[in-house]
Structure 1
Amino acid sequence: MRNGFTADDVPTQTGRRFIVTGANAGIGFEVTKVLVARGAHVVLACRDANRAEAAMQRIADEFPAADLSFLPLDLADIDQVRDAAQAVLAAPRLDVLVNNAGVMIPPKTLTKQGYELQFGVNHLGTFAFTGLVHGHVDDRIVVTGSIAHKGGTMDYSDLVASRSYHNWQRYQMSKLANLLFMVELDRRLSTAGRATQAIGCHPGVALTELTRHLPFPLRNMTPLATPFFNSAAHGAWPTLQAATGANVQGGDYLGPQGLGEISGRSGPARATRAARDPKLARELWRRSIELTGVDPGL
């Protein structure tokens, strides 16, 4: 590995099974392309069947031997998450679950169960889906964070954003929740004597579909910033390292190695003290069980 991990460092994955959530576009799509190119079977877990099928066709056009399948998964609806989990448990076991799907700074929106969309999808949906299928995963569970977690604080007093809504603050909180969940999940898996490990990652600043909700002037400026940011393909490197890297350990957090962790090859990333606070992590775990009705049993 040349001073950091890239797609070129992904080893052969023949015979291994992956689920990648949100795999129809952006980083999830790029991760899926690399995995199938290395021989893996990848399940695209996506909300929109038409977009998932179009993504599978694009991949198959490039890699005719691609081994792909589709799983309907809407992380904004816990009832549908339960249905998706049942389908996973009825299928062959998985080597790796890649929790990649998420939303970023949308207009105020609520999930089916009435929670603010970013916390509901990025954390609660991910928590519920992982909590239901973790026993079916043999190797790794990847949780996608963000450098935005560094400004995040956990505020459970208004999860439906009824008093106020600041989209960036809500995004920061959801990304802090992702890392707290990853750390606590790995601790509980280890305590339970499981070989499965939880690993965190972030893509830096990648120009993907997530930027579609940026304010109009910033959205128009993103092409000018392209030389300084990650492409979706390069932003996928930390996820690929978390999912397949040989020297990765449970609880690791990976991201770009460039200035400010914005772009570059993948390697160790810096998480805030809050993101590794065991008290905060235990409280989030407890609250997440209450809010989703899903107890991972760990």
Structure 2
Amino acid sequence: MRWTTEQIADQSGKTFLVTGANSGLGLVTARELAAKGGHVIMAVRNLGKGERAAAGIRGSVEVRHVDLADLDTVRALAADLHAGPTGIDVLVNNAGIMMPPRQLSAQGHELQFAANHLGHFALTLLLLDLIRERVVTVSSTMHKRGRIHYDDLDGGKRYSPMAFYAQSKFANVLFGLELHRRLRQAGDARRSLIAHPGYSDTNLQTAGPTGVAKAFMRIGNKVFAQSAEQGALNQLYAAVDPRAESGQFIGPDGFGENRGWPTVVQPIKPAEDEADAKRLWELSERLTGVRLSSADLRR
């Protein structure tokens, strides 16, 4: 079945938080959810770009600041949302950076791991008591090339932009599946899903890489990529369709999962390793200072 935005039911009365919502997949996601009556909190790093993006959306939206690579701003956003009048039905962990030269975050972590994984890990746990329905974490087919470099987490010994991007996307899958398991073990009916957009034409591929890699990505986007609108269908399905089940990984149904329509896909076997997921979870708790409280789980 070819699932499209026409199959999104009325979302009136629901609140969505979408990170990285000022461009690319996040902007498409925010636009489509608002068009269906949802209220969308657009969590963005650059408020000016966020406000300009929001001005082009029909529907109920608000813009909030967060830099996922800076845990101080993650905590500030969570505190602001807790002070507000309403909860969040769905959190879409969409924001990401891809293949920049080696940099460290404000807290001293490798930038891709910080922004793509640690920031979303902390945000999810800090907001879990507000979330009513589900969490969607956006990964990539590049998770298939990933592993966690426990002995060189910040890339100080040996850094490859692609390898550390793959690490962060592998971490997304480990996290999304482990959150699913912990919710289920607690008898909590909320859902944790993962999605990936295949190869979609966004500024992700050109904002981070430099030199030859950037030129290659620019050509690839023009020749091989599907549109951001098509790629975003996967996370939209995961976010709103009642048939989307906790623990599922949603991606394109085409060859190599690069293009196509949303379907259930399989992560690589190492990403389903429960011992590795637990190890990453405990490491992430230490690095962020954020822990899952039993009070945040609902029986």
Q: Same fold (TM over 0.5)?
A: yes
Structure 1 gap segments, 5+ residues each: none
Report the counterpart of residue 159 of structure 1 in structure 2. 153
Counterpart position of 1:46: 44
TM-score (norm 2): 0.94
In structure 2, how many angstroms separate the alpha carbons of the residues matched to 1:46 and 1:88?
A: 14
Alignment of 1:273 with 2:266, yes or no, is no
Q: Which residue of 224, 244, 261 corresponds with 2:240? A: 244
In 2, Cα distance between the equivalents of 1:223 and 1:253?
A: 24
SS of equivalent residue, structure 2 residue 128: helix
State the Cα distance separating 1:220 from its structure 2 match: 4.2
CA contact (8 A) 2:98 2:165 kept: yes
- Tell me the matched-pair count: 289
8 A contact 1:144–1:178 mirrored in 2:
yes
- Give the SS at the match of 2:143: helix
CA offsets 1:201-248 (integer angstroms, 9 cap, x no match): 0000111011113414313423541xx422111110000000001211
> Are residue 104 (structure 1) and residue 98 (structure 2) matched?
yes
Write out per-residue CA displacement over residues 173-194 of structure 1, whole angstroms, 9 at most, x where no aligned residue: 1001000000111111122222
Counterpart mapping for 1:6-25 below 5 A: 6-25=4-23
RMSD: 1.2
**In the TM superposition, what are the counterparts of 1:1-298 in structure 2 within 5 Å?**
3-59=1-57, 63=58, 66-91=59-84, 92-212=86-206, 213-214=208-209, 215-222=213-220, 224-225=222-223, 228-298=224-294
Q: Judge conservation of contact 1:150–1:172 (CA < 8 Å) in 2.
A: yes
CA distance in 2, matches of 1:221, 1:201: 25
Tell me the TM-score normalised to structure 1 length: 0.94
Shift of 1:153: 1.0
**C-alpha separation in 2, matches of 1:217 and 1:280:** 35
Name the residue aligned to 2:297: none
Q: Give a deviation string over 1:98-132, Cα, whole Å, max 9, x none.
A: 00001110111111001111111100011011110
The Cα offsets for residues 240-270 of structure 1, whole Å up to 9 and x where unpaired, read as 0000012111101000111110011111112
* C-alpha displacement of 1:286: 0.5
Q: How far apart are 1:5 and its partner, in Å?
A: 1.9
**Kept in 1: contact 2:195–2:234 (CA 8 A):** yes
Instruction: Note the residue ranges of structure 2 that are not aligned, 5 or more in a row.
Output: 295-299
What is the rounded CA distance, in whole Å, between the counterparts of 1:217 and 1:294 in structure 2?
Answer: 39
> Match for 1:230: what amino acid?
Q
Partner SS state of residue 135, structure 1: coil
Residue type of the partner of 1:21?
A: T
Identity of aligned residues (%): 38
Measure the CA separation in 1 of the matches of 2:170 and 2:221: 28
Q: Which amino acid aligns with 1:222?
A: G
Listed one character per residue, the Cα deviations across residues 36-58 of structure 1 (whole Å, up to 9, x for unaligned) are 11000000011111010000011
For the residues of structure 1 that align with 2:250 and 2:158, how far apart are their CA atoms?
33
2:28 and 2:12 map into 1 onto residues whose CA distance is 18
Contact 1:24 1:51 in 2 (8 A): yes
Q: For residues 220 and 242 of structure 1, what CA distance do their matches in structure 2 show?
A: 28
The residue type paired with residue 116 of structure 2 is: N
Deviation at 1:161, TM superposition (A): 1.3
Q: Indicate if the aligned counterparts of 1:56 and 1:68 stay in contact, CA closer than 8 A.
A: yes
Please give the secondary structure, in 1, of the residue aligned with 2:129.
Answer: helix
Structure 1 pair 287/8, CA: closer, same or farther in 2 (3 Å)? same
Opposite residue 265 of structure 2, the aligned amino acid is A
Cα distance in 2 for partners of 1:79, 1:223 equals 34
8 Å CA contact retained: 2:113, 2:168: yes
Q: Deviations over 1:56-104 (max 9, x none)?
A: 0111xxx2xx101111111111111111111122220111000000111
